[in-house]
Chain A
Amino acid sequence: MCVSLSALADRPQRIVSIGLCTDQLLLMLADRGQIASLSVWAKDSNMSYMIDAVGDIPLNNASIEEIVRLQPDLVLASEFVAWDTVGFLRQLGYPVEQVPVVKSVDEIYQLLGSFGAWTGNPDRAQAMAGQMRRRLAEIDARYADRPAKSVIIYSPNGFTIGADTLEHDLFERAGYRNLAAEMGISGFQAISLEQLVAADPDVLQIDRRLSTQDSLATAALKHPVLDKLIRRREYLDIPTRLRICGGPMIVDAIEMMAARR
């Protein structure tokens, strides 16, 4: 498939992303020259999968003044993030695409399609989705005969992740039962340490890289009872950057989990 020169010229040339997850897909699908700015999160080593690709692309704090100065021809924002900035930008007449929070791998395929269309690189997006499908089928086949395990995720501030989320789909595809969903939790919800210990999962998923930054929210990840729980059971340390956003990196997370079953 050949892209005509006029189509290349019609592609947005000054794309600004103001959120972590739009940063990731933009870095994967757009040409370096199309990106005018990324959010500061793109450089966060815990959160950003594409950190090495950022290079010297200018970063923004999602403030209206920074964005307007860049004169973007497309602004990409995540749903629920910087909604006040998004409203203002639309009033000023800038084209803004709001990216929904993906809740399953199937929604990632749709999202890749949208990103391909927005950035003018549909072939790249299609190829990426195809590769994801192939790898997932391969992982399914390789680990199909291993027994299911139970898992619970514990994040800063005691948040766990229940049904109707990308993480939940990730757990199911990797062959795990998400105990948070079985507790009746849908979406993100804080649970107490007592509830976590009482759930007694086969595998506890926490990202202890996060506890290097000092805060009470992450100090809870270092609570001694978690050490004891881990000693009793198993501990899984899928880096947050592999699962926090919808994108092909989710396959790496699924593979890591499936391999540990």
Chain B
Amino acid sequence: MILQTNDSRLLNAVLLVALLLVLMLAVSNGAVDIDLGKAIGDAWHRQASVESLIFFDIRLPRALLAALVGATLGLAGAALQGLLRNPLAEPGIIGVSNGAALGAVLVFYYGYSAYAWFVLPVAGLTGALLAVLCIFILVGQSRSIITLILAGVAINAIGGALIALALNFAESPYAMQEILFWLLGSVANRSFREVQIALPFMLLGWVMMLYCGRFLNALTLGEDTAKSLGFDVARLRLVLVLGVAASVGAAVSVAGNIGFIGLVVPHLVRPFVGYEPRRLMLASALVGAILLLLADLAVQSLSGTTEMKLGVITSLVGAPFFLLLILKSRNTLQ
């Protein structure tokens, strides 16, 4: 047991170092080449030079937001897969992200998000929560992969259609074309304002999900066993769901729906944590942050004159992975 804990610490430490390296890579790459030394030096002397503006006001918030959103999606994927005891559960696939995007779209394009900073993430949270509730109603206690996927398809379709409807009636002439942002996600042109808006809810969600780690461990043995081990299943399930909704809702409300990170990451991490849901979560958050930062680097270096959306990259990598998982679990599907 002690050895395992140490292993997990080592893994997380390695991942943390990797994350810092990728963060440094992210802030040193961009549309233009700048002298990073001069950027930091000018900022130190409180001089707003071209270099310091690009580094601190454009690149740093963008990289931080990519890392925070990636961590949220990785962690939420791990939590949902544990909670639903289903390897294909993920915020994007089961419709939680689209629900969050719908909530954000409704307040953003109709002027309500200007009332207070928390309106946008709370709207995202509410949309995400409604989608999770739908999943619970549709799937119930069934562990069938097919039921979950079909429920996800339905919720995603409804969410996507309502997003399109809401954008269609929005006053701004740009609204309709921005459906790409909400369905595919991006961290381009995001500032520290968006980081500030989303961070409190993401942190709250992370704490709630991590708090349920031991419960998820017990849940692998079945709900009755978890109950007999003294876990208040109904309460902890609610805490988990609220945690997913708060963090994913906030992430999607500032970065759109970025698919497949939450699906791929836990599967990559699982072999390294002895298939233990509790240990899976923190490592999944770190790997999620690393992968989304790398995806954003790819987006910036591969794009033509108009930058492509993050979901293009994450889906190109994630969707084949999804197919692979389906092939692997074909026996259970029948």
Residues of A within 8 A of B (CB): 156-158, 189-195, 197-198, 200, 213-220, 223-225, 228-229, 231-232
Give Cα A214 to B306, complex, Å.
Answer: 21
Contact indicator A232/B172 (Cβ below 8 Å): no
Contact indicator B170/A197 (Cβ below 8 Å): no
- Given the known interface contacts A213-B171, A215-B178, A217-B174, the answer about A228 and B48 at a Cβ–Cβ threshold of 8 Å is yes
Give Cα A213 to B31, complex, Å.
Answer: 28
State how many angstroms separate the Cβ of A61 from the closest Cβ of chain B.
12
Contacts of A215 in B (CB 8 A): 109, 170, 172-175, 178
Besides A214-B171, A216-B178, 11 other A-B contacts (C-beta < 8 A) = A156-B174, A197-B50, A214-B108, A214-B172, A215-B170, A216-B189, A217-B172, A224-B57, A225-B191, A228-B57, A229-B53
Q: At the interface, yes or no: B32 with Cβ under 8 Å from chain A?
A: yes
Chain A's closest residue to B107 (CB) is A214
Give the contacting residue for B32; candidates A158, A194, A216, A218; CB below 8 A: A194
Contact indicator A192/B109 (Cβ below 8 Å): no
Give Cα A215 to B170, complex, Å.
Answer: 9
**Which of the four size classes fits the interface of chain B?**
20 to 34
Contacts of A191 in B (CB 8 A): 31
What is the interface of chain A mostly: helix, strand, loop, or mixed?
helix
- Given the known interface contacts A190-B306, A228-B57, the answer about A157 and B174 at a Cβ–Cβ threshold of 8 Å is yes
- Given the known interface contacts A214-B109, A225-B53, A228-B48, the answer about A193 and B32 at a Cβ–Cβ threshold of 8 Å is no
Contacts of B34 in A (CB 8 A): 198
Of listed B50, B111, B174, residue having the most chain A CB within 10 A: B174
Give Cα A156 to B189, complex, Å.
Answer: 12
Contact indicator B170/A158 (Cβ below 8 Å): no
Contacts of B50 in A (CB 8 A): 197-198, 200
Contacts of B193 in A (CB 8 A): 224
Chain B 35-60 residues near chain A, CB threshold 8 A = 48, 50, 53-54, 57-59
Contacts of B306 in A (CB 8 A): 190
Give Cα A194 to B32, complex, Å.
Answer: 6
Give Cα A238 to B305, complex, Å.
Answer: 26
